[in-house]
Structure 1
Amino acid sequence: MKKWIWIIVSVLVIGFVGYQWFHSKSSSSEVTTQTRTAVVQKGKLEVKISGSGTVEPVTSEDIKSTIDNNEIEEVLVTAGEEVKEGDELITFTDDSDPITAPADGVVTTVSVAAGERVTNGQAVAHLTNYKDLQTVVQVDELDIPKIKKDQTVSLSVSAYPDKTYTGKVTAVAEEGTSTNGSSTFDVTIHIDKPDNLKVGMSAEASILTNSKENALYVPVDAVHKNNNEKYVLIASAATNTDNAADTNVQQTVKTGIATDEYVEITDGVSEGDNILLPQVSTSSSSNNQGGMMQGMGGMGGMAGGGMPPNGGGMGAPSGNGKSGN
């Protein structure tokens, strides 16, 4: 008789565990659709293109001799000395024209001494101007047609995160550098007031390529395209009701300049219009895994040996139902 009791108990336990396992595989899922809208805004719209580079001097060059086989009488500067354009740097014993500074800057190295002879084209010193700085940034090939000389640039430098520098585009490379099938082009930007900047600092440039005052604009994803026609959906007052789809108005529009986030609407809408954005669907699911664990815990006394020992049975472990988005 006792053997049959154990068989019955075992069958019940196995059946219960199996049922709970099967039940836990089934989950209820609820999909909700979030209605999103945006208001047509009016204001200044700026189109900017970004690039990164490092700070470097505009002038950094070797000073070369134009005299051949002449003896140096005197070297008038030392490394680290600041000079002005036209200052005499080296004189010769035969009263030949002296070597002068080609620009303002600091003589960083001097490689000759009095009594030595120099040859035509020989580098006798190096000049760097640390007060006249620029940065060269890399711009993607898709954006380079929009970059022109004299465009305004705002610059951020990692060393001074709370300060913004300004500059202008001075040169755009005619040749790009290709990497992994994509090309970038060097854009040189002169920094207006490089206070505290040092050569080698990293910089991020934001080049202003277009701007418009009093522009009407909406988020980029508000504009849809059907063949060659662009349109927006003007939301009705009944947007959140069941018949909203019947009352939303499809309005043909014309677009102008665009940023990564916003696009100008030149015709078709008015300031303050409520525009429907693409819907976002979210789903949530729940299962009874926690319930299964709780049920198994509740059967713990029987599964462990029929009747719980004196002093109390095994308590069920706590189990919360899980939900996931």
Structure 2
Amino acid sequence: MKKWISIGVILILIAGGSFWFYQSKKTAAPVEQEMMTTTVQKGDIKVQVSGSGSISSINSSDITSESEGIVDEVLVAVNDVVEEGDELLTFTDGSDPITAAHAGTITSLDIEDGSRVQLSQVVGHITDYKTLQTVISVDELDITSIKEGQAAEITADAFPDETFEGTVTAVSKEGTSTNGVSSFNVNVQLTDPKELLIGMSTEVTITTESKEAVLYVPIESVRVNGDEKYVIVQESNENSEATTQQVVETGINDDQNIEIVSGLTEGQLVQLAVTISSEGQGFRGGNSGQSFPGAEGGQNFPGGAQGFPNGDGGGQGFPGNTGRGNQ
């Protein structure tokens, strides 16, 4: 019996040792770094902020009496369309009639000829279905770049193949905090709402800054060393591929590319570092959560869980694109 127990123990030890050896070989798979290149390009860059909201009327208000008296005649009915200043009802004593505060449609009316109206009594409601807006919530990191008059593009779930134009008309000066993160309301008026209806869901993209015909490279190709930003320029010749570290001045950026103000010329090759395992599965590495300030407008490259590797001579890793930041 003892003999069989000893044999069983030996078999278990052999199986465990084999599993450990396999796992250690798998975990210790060598990692190598392959340098890929990209070309300095010339084109347009737009810095944009996005948010979701719903359609509402800019002008929607109660019809309220500013005097007390007996109604002589109700001049409108529910669903009537009126213009600003139109008379809605008159009084028997000749008091000033109640008029429409703005253009719109009479959506409710709780009064009739001969009724007595009290001061400040609400007798109906008027809604403007032609002048519409969408109100979106914008993160506190982006709100400082939003200004009245900026152009916006709006899409609606109900019209997936159509894009609507709009303009920022108001930016809230007070935010609301949820789980330690503050957000601010931004009102965007639609230029032509077409068939949009109040309550429909929307996605809004506001262009906060744009430049045309500028040099740019992918964000991941720019590295940081202290206060200095640089790229690795690759120069190919017949015998070898030499590289140089080139200091650059950056400008605005979107979520993919960054403007190069000085330091590079169109067509140059710059390196993109991609770390790959021996099994060929690649990923970008680096310091997590680092943020990279832009040169203009206080723009931040988003921090993230995975950043870009330090590269040659880099003191700090370049951030990944997972996390909060300007998009």
TM class by shorter chain equals: 0.7 to 0.9
Question: By how many angstroms is 1:154 displaced?
Answer: 0.5
1:19 is matched with which residue: 14, 17, 25? Answer: 14
Aligned pairs (5 A) from 1:1-325? 18-27=13-22, 28=25, 29-67=29-67, 69-237=68-236, 247-284=242-279
Deviations 1:7-43 (A, max 9, x none): 7x99888756753542232233242433222211110
The Cα of 1:253 is off from its aligned counterpart by: 0.3
Distance across 1 between alignment mates of 2:134 and 2:183: 15
Task: Report the Cα distance in structure 1 between the residues aligned to 2:9 and 2:65, rounded to whole angstroms.
Answer: 98
CA drift at 1:65: 1.1
Between the aligned partners of 2:70 and 2:273, the Cα distance in structure 1 is 80
Query: What secondary structure is seen at the aligned counterpart in 1 of 2:264?
Result: coil
Look up the equivalent residue of 1:55 and give its one-letter code: I
Partner SS, residue 26 of structure 1: helix
CA displacement, residues 245-273 of structure 1 (integer Å, 9 cap, x when unaligned):
xx311000000111122110000011111
Residue-by-residue CA offset, 1:46-87 (whole Å, 9 max, x unaligned)? 1111111111001100111111x2100121222222222222
Residue 305 of structure 2: aligned partner: none
Are the aligned partners of 2:33 and 2:273 in contact in 1 as well (CA < 8 Å)? no
Q: Alignment partner of 1:24: what SS?
A: helix
Q: Aligned partners of 2:83, 2:189: CA distance in 1, in Å?
A: 20
Structure 1 residue 107: deviation in Å? 0.5
Give the secondary-structure state (helix, strand or coil) at the position aligned to 1:248: strand
Letter in 1 for 2:88: L
Please report the TM-score for the alignment, with normalisation by the length of structure 2: 0.77
Structure 1 segments (4+ residues) deviating >3 Å:
9-21
TM-score normalised to structure 1 length = 0.78
Stretch moving more, 20-29 or 48-57: 20-29
**Post-superposition shift, 1:117?**
1.5
Seq. identity, %: 41
Cα gap change, 1:180 to 1:10, in 2 (>3 Å): closer
CA distance in 2, matches of 1:167, 1:276: 40
Instruction: Report if aligned partners of 2:70, 2:114 keep a CA contact under 8 Å in 1.
Output: yes
3-state secondary structure, aligned to 1:193: coil
The structure whose RCO (Cα within 8 Å, separation 6+) is larger is 1
User: What runs of 5+ residues in structure 2 fail to find an aligned partner?
Assistant: 281-327
Greater alpha carbon shift after TM alignment, 82-91 vs 190-199 = 82-91
**Closer, same or farther: CA 85–237 of 1 in aligned 2, 3 Å:** same
Task: Point out where structure 1 has 5 or more consecutive residues left out of the alignment.
Answer: 286-325
Counterpart CA distance in 2 for 1:176 and 1:15 is: 68
Q: Separation in 1 of the partners of 2:101 and 2:7?
A: 99
Q: In the comparison of the two structures, how many residue pairs are matched?
A: 274
Higher gyration radius (CA): 1
**Partner Cα separation in structure 2 for residue 167 and residue 156 of structure 1:** 11
d(CA) in 1 for partners of 2:73 and 2:129?
26
Query: RMSD over aligned Cα, in angstroms?
Result: 2.5
